[in-house]
Structure 1
């Protein structure tokens, strides 16, 4: 049920009313309403309500570069090059390696002057503190930097990889640091719990929390929630969180970012360990360039070309901003083994591929992607424009003010218990599919995707010419609050409806949940 907002509460909310006006919400107090589950209290702070199972909307505000607490830096240029004739792969890579060879404190941006840079291989931004920067992402080479990805050797390659090499997740356990979490029920959204032995833990330690995928947990979630296809198996989908220790007090550990699922010892004995951070690359970015992948033939058939345009791989505090990516098979920007990243003001358009599975995921969070913020990005002709495609190791991902045009399928949690996804101000334009946003059960689709999202939120989204499907997973909840269009629990596979509030009702306060949560967290 919506709650009326008094003038005192509006004023106390630290400019929330001004934010609502900026977002196009009517400014009159009588038109403004708040969700029952997240609302401003009498002191202007956000207050949360939980249901009988302990489900509540978590704090998503830690997504993005440096957990959203600092802006993306403008890194000074330390080297500048212009294009040469022929394949530029070695030419650009040599310049990147020259920057990487500098002492850490002296690294910075490699600036690519305007022009077309044919690239037949992959460009690697390997060293911490290095940025690949173009001169603009427009189509005119006179004033912009165009990476022209040519050929398909090796087959299905990535054009630009910022970060390290795939390392199998965060499995590098520092010996002697593993300890059990002894709190019986760590609620979704919680940031502290007791452990058996805190002796090796110190503030600032990078830890990995694991909730094993046990028979008991699988039974509680109906083995993924599908009647046809193989059920999920023990060990396949542990819940894993990459976190920092903030405080240790006795046996109680406080972490920097909340967990996005209940850690229930009755279903699975969770534990943590200190991560060795092997192969991790930090403070890398790709900026202000255009990746145009060369193709030949039918754009809905040809796949003889590069697969992904830009990939953030095994990074922390990384970014992609002000870039345009065209003609990829799968993703314009993809993340993997990446935390605290921002993808900002980017356009992933005109994918070239067969219109089928594993293709046209224009902005794609793959395995071990957490605290990733996509802000003000645009997708065109996607199957899954903004998507979590990395199962139970993906959480804390925010899609803020994303626009998907001519969608051929839905933006969504895609498979196998992705958690803590926030679609905030998402908009679909001229969709070409029945539903274009989904926090739901995908049943036998794909590799028995089943419950594709849990503890996830669609907030103030506009799917007015299609449908938003929100369904309730066992032991968890999904939410659609203040969204416009047909908001329903009626999906391709029958499951209970999720929490739906204020459908097609203008004036939701705050208009952006992510921004409100960030302001609330950073207020003294």
Structure 2
């Protein structure tokens, strides 16, 4: 039933049907245990070595050296975030050889670079599905339009991100605000709605717990291992009632049908009517509140296995609040298994890195800083997980002067995203989910320092109430792990109806004081050094792959 993009059918089907030892082991692994009541456990040694300090009540190493996840009485538990990133974290970022090398030309280089990418995009893919890389020699490339990496298996690589054009590759964006993106990776639309006829079937499990990968469906006869499965939890009146209308306060509640929860997954196993998918769900699928269903997506227009590497995007702006320039540096859209690494993006107004309809993406060792815009809404989302961004790993990050540096901005269709090992200097507002039930977000070793924010919180997993156009609950089933805030600021963590949020091991204050008055989430170990594991994402990934 799987419809593969042209040119790479064999490789990608093999990944999900048979795969290597890591994929097979991950597919066969049992779901992680959870107990009904949280309790304190003795410190035990984990895979990273002897534990030094303390462990959380809700996720910790058990006596056998494996992570134990403890659920509360409502079934809420911390999920496994390690499925974020390129190929679910189960393969390293590839090293693709250059097959075309160019240098800068005088004037506008948009068509010059695009021609090289188009040329490589016409090559036959190799046995691993890659066509090759376009290598940009050191120098300054003035670009007034958008460069599009829109063919599977193509990489755009510079010679380094140095500010010195003698040794680095500088993409100098010279356009007006009509130059929305300097580099766009992937396809052209944001939806996953084109289903393979006859494949839709209902989820029959009464309750699929957050963090689960297995559930039953009414009919598996039209499903196969390797199928690209879309899971749809509709936005019903019963569900809206259960979540207090979205928590919008004096603004109108969210309407029926407005906020469906959608997951993009692949089938790893089918046993009878039981289906196991490649990554967990990040919200309960409660049949008493909404009848969820699944269908196979036909992958129309999907681009995959593409990357941007080792360059500098410098957007030309005339002043600190100038907005007549390119809005964003790099967007990844309608794309999966893609990456951005060793890149600097400067002087954007909207986003440094923007992801939309993007799954299993790695953004690693990237700087997105010094935006140029007014300090106002709809601006300065340095590392943005937008609509339908799922399982995106942002890792090794440096940001500055953001309004929302590390942010999920895509509502109930955005989930499973991780910001790990990141620093934001001199920000103006909070990191975290921004609005409308973003789920399964992990902020892991994030530092928000020297904040300019007039609010008390600079990391927030909370309810924004009537902010914006009725943002309501911004984040659910989300975690701030071993994060640091300074300058008298705090992490705001609140408990959503039917869900939970967590702040564990925060340096600096952590409390329930957000935009609205709500119950506190799970707050533990504030200003207590020595949290083990020190990185939740790395511990989860290490355990799953071993």
Shorter-chain TM-score: what band? Answer: over 0.9
Aligned 1:245-284 pairs, distance under 5 A: 245-284=267-306
Does the CA contact (< 8 Å) of 2:54 and 2:530 recur in 1? Answer: yes
Count of residues paired in the alignment: 503
Which residue does the alignment assign to 2:496? 473
Q: Distance in 2 between matches of 1:340 and 1:417?
A: 20
Tell me the residue number matched to 1:25: none
Distance 1:109 1:308 in 2: 23
- Picking from 490, 495, 513, the partner of 2:518 is 495
Deviations 1:141-176 (A, max 9, x none): 1100000000216x151100011111x421111000
d(CA) in 2 for partners of 1:122, 1:230:
39
Match of 1:23 in 2: none
Whole-Å Cα distance in 2 between the matches of residues 119 and 333 of structure 1? 18
Matching of residues 55-454 of structure 1 within 5 Å:
55-105=76-126, 107-152=131-176, 155-166=178-189, 168-296=190-318, 298-300=319-321, 302-433=322-453, 434-454=456-476
- CA distance, structure 2, for counterparts of residue 449 and residue 4 of structure 1: 38
- Gaps in structure 1 of 5+ consecutive residues: 21-28
Q: Is the 8 A contact 1:336 1:369 kept in 2?
A: yes
**Counterpart contact for 2:450–2:486, Cα < 8 Å:** no
Q: Deviations over 1:61-82 (max 9, x none)?
A: 1000111111111111010000
Offset, 1:4: 6.1
Return the offset for 1:3.
4.4
* SS of equivalent residue, structure 1 residue 171: coil
Contact 1:343 1:373 in 2 (8 A): yes
Deviations 1:31-82 (A, max 9, x none): x111110011111111111111110000101000111111111111010000
Describe the shift of the 1:16–1:239 C-alpha distance in structure 2 as closer, same or farther (beyond 3 A). Answer: farther
2:8 aligned partner:
none
Rounded to whole Å, the distance in 1 between the matches of 2:221 and 2:90 is: 30
Distance, in Å, in 2 between the alignment partners of 1:4 and 1:395 is 30
- What are the Cα deviations for residues 485-520 of structure 1, in whole angstroms up to 9, with x where unaligned? 110101121111111011111111111111111111
Contact persistence 2:440–2:478 (CA under 8 A)? yes
Runs (4+) of structure 1 moved beyond 6 Å? none
Instruction: Output the CA distance in 1 between the equivalents of 2:419 and 2:180.
Output: 26
Q: Give the CA deviation at 1:15.
A: 2.5
3-state SS of the aligned residue for 2:393? strand
3-state DSSP of counterpart to 2:416: strand
Task: For 2:369 and 2:59, locate their aligned partners in 1 and report how far apart those are by CA, in whole Å.
Answer: 35
Deviation string, structure 1 residues 169-212 (Cα, Å, up to 9, x no partner): 21111000000000111110111111101111111111000000
1:71-119 C-alpha deviation (Å, 9 max, x unpaired) = 1111110100000000001100000100101112261110000000000
Does 1:519 find its partner at 2:546? no
Distance, in Å, in 2 between the alignment partners of 1:4 and 1:247 is 34
What residue number does 1:15 align with?
48
- Measured after TM superposition, the shift of residue 16 of structure 1 is 3.6
> CA–CA distance in 2 between the matches of 1:140 and 1:376?
22
Per-residue deviation, 1:2? 8.2
The CA distance in 1 between the partners of 2:538 and 2:197, in whole Å, is 39
Distance 2:467 2:170 in 1: 37
Cα RMSD, aligned residues only: 1.2
2:60 maps to which residue? 39
Structure 1 residue aligned with 2:4: none
Relative to the length of structure 2, the TM-score reads 0.91
Q: Specify every segment of 5 or more residues in structure 2 that has no aligned partner in the other structure, as ranges.
A: 1-37
| 2: CA distance, partners of 1:402 / 1:16 | 24
Deviations 1:406-448 (A, max 9, x none): 0111111000000000000111121111321000001111121
* Equivalent in the alignment of 2:21: none
Distance 1:98 1:156 in 2: 24
- Bigger CA drift: 101-110 or 237-246? 101-110
Distance 1:464 1:2, change over 3 A: farther
| Distance in 2 (alpha carbons) for counterparts of 1:234 and 1:365 | 24
Q: Which moved more, 1:426-435 or 1:371-380?
A: 426-435
Using the TM superposition, name which of 470-479 and 220-229 deviates more: 220-229
2:181–2:330 Cα contact (<8 Å) kept: yes
Report the secondary structure of 2:486's partner residue: strand
